A and B are shown apart, each in its own frame.
Chain A
C-alpha cells in the first residue's frame, strides 16, 4: 500500500516536472536545469554526510572535476558520454583518496580538511592554464546529441537533464535500499556497533566518499553543457558551503531532502524577487530559525507538522 502511494507521488512529481517548462520561456527551463544539476550534487553529498555521517566541504570541487573533464573531452569533439564517464570515474577515485583522511579524523577536523582540498582545487584550476583555461575558463562546450536528436535547444536539454537526474535518483535509491545503504546508516549511528556487526568501516567510509563525489562529477557533466562556460570561481568553497546548506535545509539523511533543499536555494531568489536586496538576509534568518527549531530540515519540519495531531492527542491523555 505504502509503496503503491509512493509510486503515485513520484509519478505526479515527474509529470509535473515534464509539463513545468512548457509554454514558459527559456529562462524557466534553464532555471529548472540548474536546480536538477544542483540536486544531483546535493544527493551525493547527502549520501556521504546524511547517510554515512562523514562531512565533506569539497562537493563543489567534484562538480568542478566533472565539469572540466566533460568540457575538455567534448571540446576535443569526443561525445559527452565519454566526458561524463571520465569525470565521474575521476571523481570516484579522487573521492576515494579524500576518504582516507576521514578514516583518521571526524567532524570539524574533517570539515576543514575537505574545505582545504576545495581551496587547493580552485588554485590548481586557476593556475594551470594549459589544462583548465585558467581564470578565463573554458567556453563553448557543445550540448550532447542522443542519436539523431540534438539537445542544443533549452527545452530539449531540460528533458535530457531531467532524464539524467531521474536515473541518478533511481540508482541512489537502489544504493540506499541495499545492504550498503543500511550499513552506511549503521556507520553514522554508531561506528563501534557497526564494526561489531562485522561491517568493514574502512571500506564503507571510503565508498561513501567515492560515491558521493561521483555524483558531484555527474552534476559537473551537466553543468558544462548547460552553462557552456566554466571558470574556477564557479567551484570555490562558497559553492560547497551552499551545497551543504541545501542538504541540511532540505533534511539530512532524507532521500528527498537534497532535492527540496536545492529547489529552495535555486527558486527562492526568484520567488522573493520582490524583496530585492533582502532575500539573502531572509534566507539566512530562515535557515537559522529552521536549524534552532528543527534541525531535521524542511522534511523534518513537514514530518513534525504531520505528526502534531497525534502528539496532541497523546498529550491530552497524559
Chain B
C-alpha cells in the first residue's frame, strides 16, 4: 500500500511537469496550427539562461531568474513567432514542422557548444523538506509543482473564458477570418499565445531542473511526453493537457512498478496510438471546438 501510494504521488508530481509543457504546446498548436517539435528544448533552455546569469554575469539568483524568464519570453515567444512561424503564413504545414525540428537541433547544439555538454546542478527555489503520508514520502517541491500546474490550468481557463482578451484569443484561433471582420487583432492574439507558451515553458524549466539537472539533451524525452500528454488529453481543452500529463506520469510509474520495467517506456506510446485511432480529439476534447 505504501508502495502504491508512493508511486501514485510521485507520478502525479512528475505528471504535473509534463502537463505544464503540454499546456503551452496546445496553446501554440491551436493559435498557429504549428506543431512545435522544439517544445522540449523550450523547457530545457530557460534553465541555462538562468545559469548564464548566475555563473557568467555573476548576478544574484533572483536577478538571474528574472533575466532567464524575460529572455525566454523574448526568444521563445517573440523571436520564435516572428522569425520562424510567421514567415510561413497561416498554414505552415510540413516546412514549418521541419523548421521547428531544425530549431530543436540548433538550441541543443548551441547550449552544448556555448555552455557545455555536461549536466549541471541547478539552484532550488523551494526549501528542502518532505511530507510523510502513510509510509510514502512526497517532497515540498513535488507538492508545489502539482499546485503550480493546477493553478496554471485554472488561471488560464479563467483567463480564456472570462476576460475580453481571452475570448478574443479563442475567437482568433477558431476562425481567424471571422475574428478579423469582428475587429479582433488576430496577429496580436496569436502573439499572446506564443508569449504564454514561452512563459509556461520557463516556469516548467525552473520547477523541474533542480531535480532533473540542466542538460542540453533534456528536451528530447520531455518534448515527446508533452506531445503525448497534449494529444491524449485533447488539444482543444487546456485541462486536457493537465489530465494527459498527470495520466502519463501516474501510468508510467504504475507500469514500471507493477507490470514491466524493460517496456516501461512503451505504455505512453501505445496509449497515444490508441487515442489517435479511436478518439483523435483526445479524452477530454470536443470533436470540432477549439479552445484557443
Contact = CB atoms under 8 A, between A and B. Distances in A.
A280 B114 CA distance: 13
A57 to B, nearest CB: 10
Interface in A29-57: 49, 55
B95 A295 contact: yes
Contacts of A126: 262
Nearest to A280: B109
Interface stretch (B118-126, B181-189, B265-273): B265-273
Q: Label chain B's interface by main secondary structure.
A: helix
12 contacts: A101-B276, A108-B35, A120-B266, A120-B270, A123-B263, A241-B101, A249-B98, A281-B105, A287-B102, A292-B87, A292-B88, A292-B95
A116 B272 contact: yes
B1 interface: no
Interface of B: 29, 35, 37, 83-84, 87-88, 93-99, 101-103, 105-106, 109-110, 112-113, 224, 227-228, 231, 262-263, 265-266, 269-270, 272-273, 276-277, 280
A278 B105 CA distance: 11
Contacts of A119: 224, 265-266, 269
Interface string A114-143: 011101100100110000000000000000
Q: How large is the interface on A (under 10, 10 to 19, 20 to 34, 35 or more residues)?
A: 35 or more
Interface in A223-249: 237, 241, 244-245, 248-249
A231 to B, nearest CB: 16
Given A49-B94, A104-B277, A116-B273, 15 more contacts: A105-B276, A113-B272, A113-B273, A116-B269, A117-B273, A119-B265, A123-B263, A126-B262, A241-B101, A244-B101, A278-B113, A281-B113, A288-B102, A291-B98, A292-B95
A111 interface: yes
A8 interface: no
Contacts of B224: 115, 119, 237
Residue of A55, A245, A280, A283 with most partner-chain B CB within 10 A:
A280
B84 to A, nearest CB: 6
A252 interface: yes
